Structure 1
Amino acid sequence: MAANFFSRTVTKRIIAGGAAVGGTGVAVSQLSGPSLAHTAEEAKAQFETSWGYLNVVKLPDNWTGKVFRIKNDYPKLPGTFDIEAPWLDIDYKEDPLEYCARVKLYCWEGNVNNEFDVHKNPIRPWYHAPWMHWNDNGREPVHGLTFERPTKAGELSDKQKTVVQAWAVGFYNWIGAATFGEIWEDPAKPNWEKGVLFRPGTCVFKILMTEANETQLFNLKDAPTMQAFIATPKSVKNNNASERKTTPTDLRLLQVDFAVRDDRSPIGWVFGTFMYDGSLTQHKNTWDRIIPVGIMWGNDPDLTKQDYADGKRPVESWINPVADDLKKRLGGTRALSPWGVSGRLNGPVDNFKSACTSCHSIAENYPDGSVSMIPPDTGDAKPWFRNLLAPKQSFTPGKATGDYSLQLMTGYNNYLKWDGVQQGFKHKVKVSIPFSAARRREAAIDAKRAPLRSQE
């Protein structure tokens, strides 16, 4: 099936039509004073940083293995350009399996045989989101994975006796990456004052690795592995990765998420997720042993929990019955629960009280922590289930939308935190150190990292 996908690839000509973010003004951190305490060179150095956060993330002095390198030399789009989007000639409602298959092939080509080192992809360019290193849960140094929601004991399977960690890394294709390039054209003065609109042809995907093993989850048989420096059990109890192990852990593939721009959708995107299934032995490459869990193209704004209890079901999500069956056979507390709230889509390790697109709808500039990714169990949850369309509609009135990109929001927020530290401010969320100490620590990390870079 995969061999002939690109004989039917949709190619469309797009007029770039200016920047993806409105206006040409300079965005200034809310924490900024009359003058910046950091130099443009320091901001650019942080922008180019692949991994390394204060005294939290570091490699052993004797490490000789793989070291993650960020790819953020974002392209500039020409006035007109062709997009390669093989999923766009498929009706996602009528044939969601084929839709998923085409997205998967597009994401896998050139990446799956290169350990997802996008610097080595010979087929098409992919990029990482910037500033995903600068917080407690930021990129670890081997594959650039970031800390995801830990899974409680017994949630994924009745044989899962302990809490297991999940770590993930995301990738944007060149069209999506161009939007990052416009926002971060000047790394010292990111420009995100107006709503973002990712262009048609944008594709983003994320591979999610779990600490669980085959004994805990039988579907992980022969799953692909990645080494990573993950959090200590003590840190996980506090739901963060502020302390990291000093030896690497083998993580296994469990979940793959994607989002593609599709203007046929009421939100402008189609989200989807895959789950690893080791029984698919017809695929010699174990990275191909994944099945679609489902896709989601809207939030079903009118569907309430009571509606679901009365038998109504989402009409803007599709759930794969094969994945449903696998979830039930695994057992655990999620076996008889829907993937997401009221039957909407969410991934295997995601919070079942939320849903893919509702969670991503909160992406906006100047996040202050007042908006949860998870809708409330009681009270008014409708704001989380609106079908918001970028660039004018944002979750919070008066803020600029990130067009469903949580990585854009997270990286931008990390920049704001760093900017505050450089000015000697005490950031209200996590960081409380003198800016001179931060600079010294970053210099020490970079000094250790430089010899490793030269070996690649």
Structure 2
Amino acid sequence: MDRYLSFKANACPIISAISILLTGALTGALSVSMTGCHTSRPEELKTEAVTERTPSSPPQAYLKYVTFKNNRPEEDVIDISRWQGLGGGFDGGARSDYLKKFYSANTRSRSNTGLKHEACFEGSAQTLQNLFFNSNDPKNKIAFVIGGYARTRSSQDGLALGISFTEQLKGGPQQPFFFRLQNCRSGKAEIGESRDRRLGQNDFAESETRRLPAAVESSNAMPGKGFMIEDQVQLPAGSRLPAFSLRSDYDRAMLSSSDRPWAGMDIRTEEGAAQFALLVQKHFYEGMATQDSSNSDRNFIAQNNGKRYWCHMPWMQVGESGREAIHGLTKERDYKPSTTMSLYSENTTGTDWGIGYYNGKGCQAIGKVFGTAGNPRGAPDFDQARFEDGTMSVKILFTTAQLKNTQGAYTWNANVSGVGSTARKLQPVQHIQMDISVKDSSLKGARPDVGNWVMLTYYFDPSYNSPLQRDLPGLPSGILRMRPMGVQTGFGPPSQSTQRESIIFQGSQTNGFLGRLNGPADNPKSSCLSCHGTAGLGVAMSPGYIDYVNWGKPTKSKSLDFSQQFALAKRNWETEPK
């Protein structure tokens, strides 16, 4: 029983030092350069005995499972010969074990034996699908999987493979699983940021219970579309929690007027940027933050805004990080106090969740890609993923972390999972960050080489008192503590020059690479524009071990106009097994 074994030294990529070269005003190609075997079911997943060997020639596609011992990566490479049991390779039980390993590596930070782990594939997803998951080849049959084979679907760019299967052990219940396996240069899912935690076999069953029909009264069940299931949560008696409803009547957006009170503003100085930050913050809060003064859970409902039109991005419901049933939150990443700014350093660990909104102009672009609720496209046209001038998008982010030294944050109740697990439960989440993106060439300081996008971040600061309370009476106290952090118009760090590309306001803290704009819920190795700059490229916003070698190599792809939500929706659509 053979196993490839190799070691590589860790590297520390500079993630935010990237430059984006755009051809044809973001309408064409986008190029980025970045500075053993058994026949019975075991009690826990097991690996084969190790025999080191070197393949005679590179396979067309192969699987890679990486574990970390004493911070050294150990690669376990599975080619098609080994997968199909040739020369002492896998049987159906071992294929089942490894399929669960790949699932675990893409949904949990630690293996059953307590080791950090990652999984990916080399080659194209289409080749992997045809070789490893071809249901016409009995050598690919997987034990304990209903039907004998996993269902798969590859992304068009060949960098992701959606894998779905339902397992049933003898005498046990059916357990459905879904995950996306990434190409090694694309990185792993953000669940990889999970806190270190030893996981046992029973955790698989625990994490999947929400996929089964809930035995609750229909009046208390809050359904929200998920992957092959309804996300359901048991609500306390008498609770007034909303049920999330996707707003996708994009045809109304075509008729709506998108007011642009910021048009022509000069944001090249701190004073001008600060005025701009307050103006767009007010623009979003109007009709959104004061919908129900008695119940914070009933604010920020797009359909209830009588002031102006806002909508959501579709196809954000897939997988363990998909939309939850109450507010439509999706998982962003895990929150670590050790990697955020000093104001939040005494908080506990947690998971971060967010929901995005688009104004009329932004919704028009979404409608061109997906169609409308009344007239949906048979298949999305992502070549239409271009936002026009006047587009504004907003994401509000919440965390399950306990805010020890930042109490008083705006709070929702949501059906979300915690650190190191995908099992969801109803729990309070606190609002710590808001991101706003505006695309407008009339802004003095907007840069054509980044599509005239301007990014802003706000964060919860209990010592801050917003001047917006004069213009918007009735704003919740936690919302009044959302402090503008700064404005970013390019990839450069803050400087004293006139043409600054990242302005951090006086008195604010930031969490970005080399002082760039970045919120407390964001990855400190990057910045706002740097993360969004990878949209459509099929590469990780921030790489882990499995992709750090290739992450900085130039690549070409269709731009998705700095929209990570377009990128995720595209990946979800393309990789959902049919």
TM-score by shorter chain over 0.5: yes
Which position in structure 2 is the counterpart of 1:258? Answer: 436
Contact conserved, 2:258 with 2:359, CA < 8 A, in 1?
Answer: no
**Against the structure 1 CA distance between its residues 129 and 99, is the aligned structure 2 distance closer, same or farther, given a 3 Å change threshold?**
same
Q: Judge conservation of contact 2:254–2:364 (CA < 8 Å) in 1.
A: no
CA distance in 2, matches of 1:134, 1:417: 10
In structure 1, the residue matched to 2:566 is: 408
Residues 185-200 of structure 1: matches in 2 within 5 Å?
Answer: 185=371, 186-192=376-382, 194=383, 196-200=385-389
1:97 aligns with 2:274: yes
Q: 2 CA distance for matches of 1:180 and 1:158?
A: 38
What residue number does 1:437 align with?
none
Assess if the C-alpha contact under 8 Å between 2:518 and 2:526 holds in 1: yes
Partner letter of residue 302 of structure 2? V
Distance 1:256 1:83, change over 3 A: same
Deviation of 1:82 (Å): 5.8
Give the Cα separation in 1 of the matches to 2:564 and 2:432: 21
Query: Where does 1:344-363 land on structure 2 (aligned, <5 Å)?
Result: 344-363=516-535
C-alpha distance in 2 between matches for 1:106 and 1:234: 37
Q: Does 1:57 align with 2:231?
A: yes
Shift of residue 30, structure 1, vs aligned partner: 3.4
Map 1:52-451; keep pairs closer than 5 Å. 52-54=226-228, 57-60=231-234, 65-75=241-251, 83-94=258-269, 95-114=272-291, 115-156=299-340, 157-160=344-347, 162-185=348-371, 186-192=376-382, 194=383, 196-215=385-404, 218-219=405-406, 221-235=407-421, 242-245=422-425, 248-263=426-441, 264=443, 265-266=446-447, 267=450, 268-280=452-464, 283=469, 285-286=476-477, 287-300=479-492, 315-324=500-509, 339-364=511-536, 368=538, 371-374=539-542, 396-397=555-556, 399-418=557-576, 421-422=577-578
Q: Secondary structure at the match of 2:566?
A: helix
Pair 257,249 (structure 1): closer, same or farther in 2 beyond 3 Å: same
* Change beyond 3 A, Cα 1:136–1:56: farther
What amino acid maps onto 1:97 in structure 2? A
- Cα deviation, 1:314-368, whole Å, max 9, x if unaligned, reads 93100112112xxxxxxxxxxxxx621222211111011011111101111xx65
Using the aligned pairs only, state the percent identity. 28
Q: Distance in 2 between matches of 1:232 and 1:285?
A: 26
Is contact 1:260-1:271 (8 Å) kept? yes
Distance in 2 of aligned mates of 1:56 and 1:244: 13
Greater alpha carbon shift after TM alignment, 89-98 vs 69-78: 69-78
Say if 1:376 and 1:143 are closer, same or farther in 2 by CA, change over 3 A: closer
TM-score by length of 1: 0.65
Tell which deviates more after alignment, 111-120 or 260-269.
Answer: 260-269
Counterparts of 1:69 and 1:55, CA distance in 2: 16
Looking at secondary structure, tell me which structure has more strand per residue. Answer: 2
Give me the whole-angstrom Cα distance separating, in 1, the residues matched to 2:268 and 2:520.
22
SS at match of 1:69: coil
* 1:234 Cα deviation after fit: 3.6
Taking structure 1 as reference, are residues 293 and 382 closer, same or farther at Cα in structure 2, changes over 3 Å only? farther
Residue 350 of structure 2 aligns to a residue in which SS?
A: coil
CA distance in 1, matches of 2:235, 2:481: 36
* 1:195–1:401 CA contact under 8 A, matched in 2: no
Deviation of 1:375 after TM superposition, in Å, equals 6.3
- 1:252 CA displacement: 1.1
Q: State how far apart, in whole Å, the 2-side matches of 1:55 and 1:190 are.
A: 22
8 Å CA contact 2:224–2:230 kept in 1: the answer is no
Q: How many residues align?
A: 330
Q: Give the SS at the match of 2:569.
A: helix
Greater mean deviation of Cα atoms: 372-381 or 248-257: 372-381
Contact kept, 8 Å, 2:352 with 2:397, in 1: the verdict is yes
Whether the 8 Å contact between 1:209 and 1:251 is mirrored in structure 2 is yes
SS of alignment partner, residue 105 of structure 1: helix
Query: Match for 1:188: what amino acid?
Result: G
The code of the aligned residue for 1:206 comes to K
Structure 2 counterpart of 1:411, which letter? A
Instruction: Kindly indicate whether the alpha-carbon contact (under 8 Å) linking 1:71 and 1:118 is maintained by their aligned counterparts in 2.
Output: yes
- CA displacement 1:363-411 (0-9 Å, x = unmatched): 11xx65xx1102689889877xxxxxxxxxxx842x2211001111111
What is the DSSP-based 3-state SS (H/G/I as helix, E as strand, rest coil) of the residue aligned with 2:430? strand
SS in 1 for 2:386: coil
Query: CA, structure 1 residues 62+122, in 2 after alignment: closer, same or farther (shift >3 Å)?
Result: same
Q: Distance in 2 between matches of 1:322 and 1:133?
A: 38
> Aligned to 1:30, which of 147, 156, 164?
156
C-alpha distance in structure 1 between counterparts of 2:224 and 2:363, whole Å: 16
C-alpha distance in 2, partners of 1:61/1:90?
Answer: 46
Q: How much does 1:101 deviate?
A: 0.6
After superposition, what is the alpha-carbon deviation per residue over 1:411-449, rounded to whole angstroms, capped at 9, x for unaligned?
A: 11111122xx11xxxxxxxxxxxxxxxxxxxxxxxxxxx
Choose 1 or 2 for highest CA Rg: 2
1:273 Cα deviation from its structure 2 partner? 0.3
> Is the Cα–Cα contact under 8 Å of residues 258 and 360 in structure 2 kept in the other structure?
no
Ranges in structure 1 where 5+ consecutive residues have no aligned partner: 1-19, 23-27, 33-48, 236-241, 325-337, 384-394, 423-456
* AA matched with 1:167: W
Query: Quick one: which amino acid aligns to residue 561 of structure 2?
Result: D
d(CA) in 2 for partners of 1:116, 1:281: 21
Please give the alpha-carbon distance, in whole angstroms, between the structure 1 residues aligned to 2:403 and 2:543.
Answer: 33
